[in-house]
A and B are shown apart, each in its own frame.
Chain A
Amino acid sequence: MKFSKIKKNIVFGVTIALSTALTSCSDYLDINATPNNPTEVPPSTLLPTGLAGSAFANANDLNRFASVIMSVTAGAAGSPASWDRYNTDGADFGNQWRFEIYGGALVNYDQLISVAEEINAYSYVGIAKIMKAYTFTLATDVWGDVPYSEALQGDENTQPRLDEQRDIYLGNSEKGIQSLFDLVREGLADLDRASAVNPGNDDLVYGGDISDWKRAGNTLLLKLATQISVVEPEVARSVIEEVVQGGSYIVNNDQNLSVKFGGQVGSQSPIYTYTYNSSFSTDQLISTRFVSLLQSLNDPRLPQFVTKPTGEYVTIDNGFAGTAPKAADRSMFSTYVTGENGVGPVRLITNWQRAFMLAEAAVRLGTTGDPQTLYAEGIRASMKSAGIADADIDIYFTNNPNVVTLTGSDENKIQQIITQKYISMYGNGLEQWNDWRRTGYPTLAPHQNAVGIDGTRPVRAQYINQEVARNPNFPNNIYPNVPVWWDVD
């Protein structure tokens, strides 16, 4: 029996098919470039990412936490109720650390710096460095020692070491750590260089105004110096004096470093979303203590700051264990904090904050400037921002000389300054918490039913569980009752 013709044809056909398939294999298989994601993006798409990330880091869950801890809001349910009793642990703020701070704003500022340097877009580089410093400050102020000099290196270093907070602020050349001050100064120098491309609408803060960014950078130097002014007065004095002499810092409310959001779902300020448009919106309301404080000072900002759906302030005390008032009746953050429909802005560094910082420095460190003038300037700027007419501010100043006039010892003056700063920083819980930890002001009574580690108000956040699990450099036993480096009192 022999192969018939048809059989031969089949054999031939199969052989041809096989060899064709084999030779064209490499083209056939060359389809692994992703159609779903870009591998390169322009600076204009990275800047808004970083800015929104920094705003989220400041204003999302960490703000929920710090505002409760600072007796501005009170917890009615969920995490805020737990924080209100001083309970926090490594399960808190994982999202903030991972996706807002390190894997959010910071890593994208680094991307922005390298992309922008390639095309000589130095305005982007400068903004990125200033905001990177701001965001690292936020991280170290909340957690103490954090990865800094070895952070953000991706594959190059997947287990970065922790840098001591002192080294992060002041630098340490032996360990190759650049100080935050120098990082900001580097950013300011970049802003002075000619830039091939400049931001516009993608700059969610100043719409591309570089001179405003320079003011913001210098004011950030003031904030860094203020934060270490108790523990490192000499460094603080010299930095503050340098900035004051330079004369380029935020001097009116329009120059605030504040991030704009949109009025639509998906574009809104996080404070708006968690206050009004989330299943967590019933977790917190304004604290009775904050309302009482402003009432005791006859402060005209109270109705501007705090809503009263029923016509009365409906609040609860911190640590309250009973029935919380009906959600619809509760006093909440007003549009001063959230913006109309959530447009914000999220205020990161403000004009009144600058005035109070300089007032405090003048008292504490003897830097240039009259404390009383600066103190009054801070109060006026804040009231103005809250929508109080100049005439009404004047009336308030006339009727409440004991509030608006610094008196007594330096310590007493600092207490007055920080208490007014606390009121004016309403909505920015982290800065309120920073000041309270650094100075002990304003004087806050313990919360009801407090538990925590030892019944005391948290003075840091615990390292997130993921880092403890993933990076052996993270210690596992630093609890929220351990002060950070600059917190010496």
Chain B
Amino acid sequence: MKKSLLLSFIFVLALVVQTWAQSKTVTGRVTDQETGQGLPGVSVLVKGTSVGTATSTDGTYAINVPSNGNTLVFRFIGYATVERSIGNASTVNVALGIDSKQLSEVVVTAQGIERDVRSLGYSTQSVQGEAVSQRSEPNVLNALQGKVSGVNITSSSGAPGASTNINIRGITSFNGSNQPLIVVDGIIFSNDVDNSQNTLFGSQPSGRISDINPESIESINVLKGPAASVLYGSRASAGVIVITTKSGKGLKGKTEVTFNSSVNWQKAAYLPEFQNEYGQGTQNNYVNNTTSSWGPRFGTEGYETVTTSWGETVPYQAYPDNIKDFYQTGRILQNSLNIAGGDQDNNFAAAISSTLQDGIVRESDFNRHNVQVGGNSKLKNGIKLGGTITYVKTSQRNTTMGNGGSAFGQITRIPRSYDLMGMPYKDESGNSIYFLPGQNHPLWSLENEFFESNVDRVFGNLSIGYDITDWLNVSYRVTADTYTDNRRQVLRIGAARAPQGQIDQDMRFRSELNGDLLIRANKNDIFTEGLNASLLLGQNINQRTSRQSGVVAEALTIPGFDNVSNGSVFTGSYESNTQRRLVGHYGQLSLDYKSYLFLELSGRVDQSSTLPANENAYFYPSVALSFVPTEAFNFQSDILSYAKVRGNIARVGRDADPYLLQSVFTTAGFGNNVASISFPLSVGGTSIPGFQIGSRIGSMNLKPEFVTSYEGGVNLGFFNNRLGIDFTYFNTKSTNQIFNVAVSNSSGYDTRTTNVGEMQNKGIELQLSGTPIKTGDFTWDVLVNFTRIRNKVIEIAPDVENSTITGNSFIGIAPSIAVGQPYGVIIGTANARNEAGELLINPSTGGFMPGVAGEVIANPQKDWIAGITNTFNYKGLALSALFDINKGGQLYSFSQVDMRSGGQVEMTGVDRDQPRILPGVIANGDGTYRPNNIQVSAQTYWSGLGGLASEAAVFDATAYRLREVSLAYSLPKAMLNRTPFGGVTVSVSGRNLFLYAPGFPGDPEINTQGAGNIQGLDLNGVPATKNYGVNLRVTF
């Protein structure tokens, strides 16, 4: 394989050399019909020959026309092609008009190659920078929600900087990351979410895409399937998001300065409705240290005042807003300044920006500062140089979350009669005052239990390119992305999870280097007129490094001194380093016949360090075909203006994570959150080291995993492209999955790494774009995105019916793969039922019979997603509204169960004094059943509906949402004539302003464990937010 590749390179480079006769020079200038400005980069061809050139930056050209040439062809993407006969003229000037018949759109595809959309045999979807700019949202992924079909985006919570999960065309890997590859200006850009803590109790660290400032984005192109992303290799099997930042390329010699400023406010959104009739207690008695609100009704005689657990006498009454007032109004302040100038060949861009966010949770924030410079230049000798470099400083502070000892573990357990915000929450020495022993007042926790992250990141690229001839280009690009994340979790003295205090300092470093060689050859009219070919050969050398080290300081001495030197015991000092390398070679041949038939063949060979050394190379191909009948048969009409059909078959291989081949020993430790130790133990003044065999069994014959995809689609344009339809069907099959299969723990191990399984994703993507009204000053544009994906685990491993997904999960609530089920179903305890499906009731208690463990009880995958954007433009006014629907999918909610079994939520207060009967039947013992007739109290009823690990904690996550609204006004140019401003736009924007979630008493878009393969769990986290704000954009 190596040899044949090498030979082909040499063949292409060395063999094709041509000379030809010349007779006459024609010069001229190509301009834009509308603006009159010169168009750079227009292809100028002598018809019937292979002679051609391109216009320079001002649109001028000079071409040597052979004696047999008499017509010039001017071609430029997005413009109608023009042919001019030369005759005797020595100057030919042409004005090109925009081609309205073509849905002509240039997109940035794999490896930064710009392509005409019509030539693509696969689906991509691009979003312009304006669509994510000034949208009351500092995270670009959240701002993409509802705007791209085939893409499922779920934010974790309203905590500032919290990560956002994104999956393109479903989940394709059992164990690997299913987040798409992010590429920013050619730089492979880390969107890793590093969790310092167990995600059940963590604090939602950022996905590193949050280092991108949305205001700096020129365009985003989403490469959805393997065919689109095959050139990126192994890493792109979950799709690619190609982000291009603003540059001076399109400015045609001008320099433009843009200033963006916005302020947004955030509110905790869609908190549950509470009952306000009954206070703290159980079984109608006041109990001052229970989290339940099953106490006496307010106003009951003898309960005018009560004594708190710390001995104070207080009135017994409802505090209706005690939870609402716990949240503050968050604020996001964003400012950015972009300077860009130049033209196609020589240009520069610089940007600085700052984002300052205070969260809805007190003492939480997210701050980001970016500085970016870049530029491109074409030297006199023809060498093209380009580069960008960006420095980002991001800091985040969040509180710890999760069940039990955290602010959010408590906030769902606040009795209705507890004056959460009105009572002092700490005493003079700073200790928490709270009703529940062993726990802390949530406000105390916010101040004293927190997670901090400080990221310093640099990423950039440098490329050098050269046109060896007019049809052959060679370039080399080096990209680097590197950051340090200096983190710590501080639990001050008194924290419930570490009563003596604990500081966990976690230093992380990550870097990725890529070297890419690209050789591109284009030849037109080969073999026959109208058959154009381009060949791309590439090599990629990749290295990824991560380093992590840290220390946990325990038993702190000085209150409030948040430094590891405050510890008197140091446990769990750790170090973890990984490095992986990959070398890839790839080639792509694109054929274009008369701009209506396109064929593309691609192949890539990767060699990865993470696979067994003797079998570390793997090959994968793709073929894509696209056909434009409207062009081929020339049957464009006013009704059907454009039609294209396309299809492809592609396969992408993917390597393992580093160091999976061997079984290893790890530093020993025992216990859970009840009690734990970690070696080395300090016993009687002696330090005793201890190691244990790791819980994972390695495999020395691991192979790459593959995704094979079949995709077909049509693009249709009607009524002069006033209505556009883009439909795609895809079917992907994931095989040979590298997975840690759960094994019986009595084997001594928890998992074994192996290649197993098969998973399928079938789906449709539909985009409808239309302009229902376009009259003079008024236009109304509609964009609809629809996605429906069906995922199914076909097979896991022999004799394995289900397996837990790698990650943290509570016992008995296991996010899993299960044969015949969609990825990520939650396996827990289902209520016992008889053959008829009726719930079984325990005749001695009136409660449910013991549940059946190991059952699938929730499926977090959505039935379908739709986003509808309506945009209205009237003169300088633009109103845009995005409404989206997430249909189906289930959410497993600790928070709701807490509030329901604790008697806090509204429904538990209705007819509370009435006895009730759980739905179900009682076994008669002879195979027959009688309806349950055992009365229980409201408390028993609502608690009996299920504990934390049961199916009663499962809710339908369907949501209808007004995701985004923006109203912008651009001042008329006439008003700005005598000012230095080129444009002034003011806008108001809002997010998540309306929600209808019929199956869930809150906002179901919550995902406490953050971006990753575990989804659909609401484990006592921060609620979602509503954002609204005002924005200003000024250009000079």
Residues of A within 8 A of B (CB): 1-3, 6-7, 10-11, 14-15, 17-19, 21-22, 25-26, 28-41, 44-46, 48-49, 52-53, 56, 60-61, 64, 76-77, 89-91, 94-95, 97-100, 102-104, 106-108, 110-111, 146-147, 151-155, 157-160, 201-202, 204, 260-268, 270-274, 277-283, 321-324, 326-327, 343, 451, 453-455, 464-473, 476, 479
Which chain A positions have C-beta within 8 A of B555? 264-265
Complex CA distance for A30 and B580, rounded to whole angstroms:
9
Q: List 18 A-B contacts (CB under 8 A).
A: A10-B466, A11-B14, A39-B662, A53-B670, A76-B437, A106-B748, A154-B749, A158-B744, A260-B683, A264-B568, A265-B569, A266-B681, A270-B670, A273-B674, A467-B746, A469-B827, A470-B803, A479-B850
Which chain A positions have C-beta within 8 A of B744? 147, 158-160, 467, 470-471, 473
- Residues 23-69 of B at the A interface (beta carbon under 8 Å): none
What residue in chain B is nearest A270 (Cβ atoms)?
Answer: B675
Beyond contacts A31-B580, A472-B799: 9 other A-B pairs, Cβ-Cβ < 8 A, are A34-B664, A41-B691, A45-B668, A49-B690, A52-B690, A53-B668, A106-B748, A263-B682, A469-B853
Which chain B positions have C-beta within 8 A of A41? 665, 691
What residue in chain B is nearest A455 (Cβ atoms)?
Answer: B844
What residue in chain A is nearest B656 (Cβ atoms)?
Answer: A32
Q: Does B541 reach chain A (CB closer than 8 Å)? A: yes
Is there contact, CB below 8 Å, between B691 and A38? yes
- B784 to chain A: closest CB distance in Å? 42
Is there contact, CB below 8 Å, between B283 and A321? yes
Complex interface bits, B516-558 against A, C-beta within 8 A gives 1, otherwise 0: 0101000000000000000000010100000000001011000
Q: Does B139 reach chain A (CB closer than 8 Å)? A: no
Complex CA distance for A386 and B579, rounded to whole angstroms:
55
Is there contact, CB below 8 Å, between B670 and A99? yes
Which chain B positions have C-beta within 8 A of A282? 437-438
Which chain B positions have C-beta within 8 A of A29? 581-583, 607-609, 613, 616
Is there contact, CB below 8 Å, between A476 and B283? no
Identify B664's interface contact among A37, A95, A103, CB under 8 A.
A37
Complex CA distance for A260 and B693, rounded to whole angstroms:
22
Is there contact, CB below 8 Å, between A26 and B671? no
Complex CA distance for A486 and B939, rounded to whole angstroms:
40
Q: Does B688 reach chain A (CB closer than 8 Å)? A: yes
Which chain A positions have C-beta within 8 A of B664? 34, 36-39
A95-B811, A260-B684 as given contacts; A31 in contact with B748, CB under 8 Å: no
Is there contact, CB below 8 Å, between B812 and A94? yes
Is there contact, CB below 8 Å, between B745 and A97? yes
Identify B659's interface contact among A36, A108, A152, A470, CB under 8 A.
A36
- Residues 756-814 of B at the A interface (beta carbon under 8 Å): 799-804, 811-812, 814
- B side interface size, CB within 8 A: 124
What residue in chain B is nearest A56 (Cβ atoms)?
Answer: B670
Is there contact, CB below 8 Å, between B674 and A160? no
> Nearest 5 CB-CB pairs, A to B?
A107-B748, A266-B571, A282-B438, A273-B675, A327-B437
- A23 to chain B: closest CB distance in Å? 8
Complex CA distance for A262 and B676, rounded to whole angstroms:
12
Is there contact, CB below 8 Å, between B285 and A32? no
Which chain A positions have C-beta within 8 A of B9? 14-15, 18
Which chain B positions have C-beta within 8 A of A45? 668, 689-691
Is there contact, CB below 8 Å, between A49 and B609? no
- A189 to chain B: closest CB distance in Å? 24
- B844 to chain A: closest CB distance in Å? 6
Complex interface bits, B657-680 against A, C-beta within 8 A gives 1, otherwise 0: 011011111101011111111110
Is there contact, CB below 8 Å, between A103 and B745? yes
Which chain B positions have C-beta within 8 A of A279? 404-405, 438-439, 496-497, 499, 673
What residue in chain A is nearest B519 (Cβ atoms)?
Answer: A14
Which chain A positions have C-beta within 8 A of B608? 29
Which chain A positions have C-beta within 8 A of B288? 323
Identify A465's interface contact among B689, B850, B853, CB under 8 A.
B853
Q: Does B257 reach chain A (CB closer than 8 Å)? A: no
Is there contact, CB below 8 Å, between A326 and B309? yes
What residue in chain B is nearest A93 (Cβ atoms)?
Answer: B811
Is there contact, CB below 8 Å, between A262 and B675? no
Is there contact, CB below 8 Å, between A108 and B693? yes
Which chain A positions have C-beta within 8 A of B552? 266
- A419 to chain B: closest CB distance in Å? 29
- A489 to chain B: closest CB distance in Å? 23
Complex CA distance for A305 and B571, rounded to whole angstroms:
30
- A455 to chain B: closest CB distance in Å? 6
Complex CA distance for A108 and B283, rounded to whole angstroms:
49
Identify B677's interface contact among A10, A266, A470, CB under 8 A.
A266
Which chain B positions have C-beta within 8 A of A18? 6, 9, 517, 539
Is there contact, CB below 8 Å, between A265 and B500? yes
A267-B683, A277-B499 as given contacts; A158 in contact with B752, CB under 8 Å: yes
- A21 to chain B: closest CB distance in Å? 7
Identify B854's interface contact among A6, A38, A274, A469, CB under 8 A.
A469
Is there contact, CB below 8 Å, between B851 and A48? no
Complex CA distance for A102 and B439, rounded to whole angstroms:
33
- A46 to chain B: closest CB distance in Å? 7
- A276 to chain B: closest CB distance in Å? 8
Q: Does B852 reach chain A (CB closer than 8 Å)? A: yes
- Residues 627-682 of B at the A interface (beta carbon under 8 Å): 658-659, 661-666, 668, 670-679, 681-682
A60-B671, A321-B283 as given contacts; A273 in contact with B676, CB under 8 Å: yes
Is there contact, CB below 8 Å, between A469 and B802? yes
Is there contact, CB below 8 Å, between A91 and B665? no
Is there contact, CB below 8 Å, between A102 and B670? no
A10-B474, A36-B575 as given contacts; A25 in contact with B674, CB under 8 Å: no
Complex CA distance for A467 and B19, rounded to whole angstroms:
76
Q: Does B272 reach chain A (CB closer than 8 Å)? A: no
A34-B659, A154-B697, A465-B812 as given contacts; A322 in contact with B749, CB under 8 Å: no
Which chain A positions have C-beta within 8 A of B692? 46, 49, 53, 104, 107-108, 111
Complex CA distance for A343 and B609, rounded to whole angstroms:
46
Is there contact, CB below 8 Å, between A281 and B746? no
- Residues 826-843 of B at the A interface (beta carbon under 8 Å): 827, 829
Q: Does B80 reach chain A (CB closer than 8 Å)? A: no
Is there contact, CB below 8 Å, between A466 and B677? no
Complex CA distance for A154 and B749, rounded to whole angstroms:
6
What residue in chain B is nearest A44 (Cβ atoms)?
Answer: B689
Is there contact, CB below 8 Å, between A46 and B691? yes
- Residues 346-398 of B at the A interface (beta carbon under 8 Å): 381
A64-B674, A468-B854 as given contacts; A454 in contact with B748, CB under 8 Å: no
Complex CA distance for A271 and B800, rounded to whole angstroms:
37
Q: Does B287 reach chain A (CB closer than 8 Å)? A: yes
Q: Does B610 reach chain A (CB closer than 8 Å)? A: yes
Identify A322's interface contact among B287, B438, B496, B658, CB under 8 A.
B287
Q: Does B747 reach chain A (CB closer than 8 Å)? A: yes
What residue in chain B is nearest A36 (Cβ atoms)?
Answer: B576
Is there contact, CB below 8 Å, between A1 and B19? yes
Complex CA distance for A179 and B53, rounded to whole angstroms:
89
Is there contact, CB below 8 Å, between A31 and B579? yes
Which chain A positions have C-beta within 8 A of B679? 48-49, 52
Which chain B positions have C-beta within 8 A of A159? 743-744, 747, 799
Is there contact, CB below 8 Å, between A14 and B670? no
Complex CA distance for A39 and B684, rounded to whole angstroms:
29
- A326 to chain B: closest CB distance in Å? 7
Q: Does B507 reach chain A (CB closer than 8 Å)? A: no
- B610 to chain A: closest CB distance in Å? 6
Complex interface bits, B1-35 against A, C-beta within 8 A gives 1, otherwise 0: 01001100110011001111000000000000000
Is there contact, CB below 8 Å, between A34 and B850? no
Q: Does B949 reach chain A (CB closer than 8 Å)? A: yes
Q: Does B489 reach chain A (CB closer than 8 Å)? A: no
Is there contact, CB below 8 Å, between B747 and A270? no
Is there contact, CB below 8 Å, between A278 and B662? no
Which chain A positions have C-beta within 8 A of B802? 469-470
Which chain A positions have C-beta within 8 A of B907? none
Is there contact, CB below 8 Å, between B851 and A267? no
Which chain A positions have C-beta within 8 A of B261? none
